[in-house]
Amino acid sequence: MNIFVTGASGFLGTSLCKKLESGGNSLEKPCSKTCDLTKQDSLKKFDGIKYDKIIHLAAWTQAGDFCLHHPGEQWVINQQINTNILSWWHDKQPQAKLLFMGTSCSYDPSMEHAEENYLAGVPIDSLFTYAMTKRMLYAGALALTKQFGLKFNCFVPSTLYGPGYHTDGRQMHFIFDLIRKIIRGKLYGETVTLWGDGYQKRELVYIDDFIRIMLELDEKYDNELVNIGADGEFTIRDFAKAICEKVDYDFEKIEFDTSKYVGAKSKILIVKKIKGMLPDYSLISLDEGLSKTIDWFMENRDKLVSPVG
């Protein structure tokens, strides 16, 4: 298959592209330097090629409190990126199926995180802009499909984890941040301070599981929005205890800073729909996923866990 992938250099994009290339697909993987998707004419050079799929992963965001400090920029940049992709899909690549990512942040925290509620209620204030741009992307795909019969799928993942995360010093998703802090505590005796009281809950999906499941779903279904979650969440304290056991660090030494930003208290995705679509739906255990992720951290310790300062 001839596939156009945006965000190919990202955490998900890197692993997904490896998988697609090993399956014999031919990929176009523009990066933001050579193809800045905020610019309307950035895709012009690809107009003449017909793609079977467009996998749209590009988004301007980071974990931690990044969304809290960049709401205006996030609105403009992500709307530009998504509008340019939607418009190019419709104008130049209508034969292609569009696959793109949603986010669990789009759900109203007071409502069940089930697909029928994706556009209902109001997302949490601190992630409002990012969440709304993801909702708009989905709304745009629905509108183009309704009017022009185009095909898409939108996947809504829980936080992804596994080997291959960024090593460029940006804000990390919580699980990578936890691992890094605890390894530093173990190796360099640094104080491990976690944000919040540690009772906020999260769920994780291992990156290879996510890729396998999204590709299987895409083969079998069209025009669906589907949650891909772990069907179970744990407190940050639970995650920290599991990591402490693996790196042999005393959990009791960890400090909790309740003045720090922690986001939603819980955001578990309802996975009833996907279990109906893929009856064999299953993920690797958290224990195995954490071991693989920690091993990768240790292999990259020069870039990831050198002492602060």
Ligand X SMILES: NC(=O)c1ccc[n+]([C@@H]2O[C@H](COP(=O)([O-])OP(=O)(O)OC[C@H]3O[C@@H](n4cnc5c(N)ncnc54)[C@H](OP(=O)(O)O)[C@@H]3O)[C@@H](O)[C@H]2O)c1
Spell out the residues 6+ positions from residue 292 whose beta carbon is closer than 8 angstroms to its own.
162, 163, 206
In angstroms, the CA 78 to CA 59 distance is 6
For residue 244, the minimal CB distance to ligand X (Å) is: 23
For residue 12, the minimal CB distance to ligand X (Å) is: 3
Q: Which is nearer to ligand X, 192 or 204 (CB)?
A: 204
Spell out the residues 6+ positions from residue 141 whose beta carbon is closer than 8 angstroms to its own.
86, 98, 100, 150, 152, 154
Beta 2-6 vs 26-28: how paired, if at all?
A: parallel
Q: Which is nearer to ligand X, 140 or 185 (CB)?
A: 140
In angstroms, the CA 254 to CA 237 distance is 10
- Which residue's beta carbon is nearest to the bound ligand X? 10
For residue 234, the minimal CB distance to ligand X (Å) is: 16
For residue 255, the minimal CB distance to ligand X (Å) is: 26
Q: Which is nearer to ligand X, 183 or 207 (CB)?
A: 207
Q: Which is nearer to ligand X, 168 or 255 (CB)?
A: 168
Q: Is residue 270 exposed (0-12), middle (13-18) or buried (19+ Cβ within 10 Å)?
A: middle
Q: Which is nearer to ligand X, 61 or 153 (CB)?
A: 61
Angle at 256 between CA 228 and CA 175, to 5 degrees: 25
Q: Which is nearer to ligand X, 57 or 194 (CB)?
A: 57
For residue 34, the minimal CB distance to ligand X (Å) is: 8
Q: Which residues bind ligand X (CB under 6 A)?
A: 6-7, 9-13, 31-32, 36-38, 57-61, 81, 101, 103, 157, 159-160, 173
For residue 292, the minimal CB distance to ligand X (Å) is: 16
For residue 238, the minimal CB distance to ligand X (Å) is: 19
For residue 224, the minimal CB distance to ligand X (Å) is: 16
Query: What sign for the dihedral angle of Cα 65, 115, 101, 269?
Result: positive
Q: Which is nearer to ligand X, 206 or 249 (CB)?
A: 206
Q: Which is nearer to ligand X, 114 or 187 (CB)?
A: 114
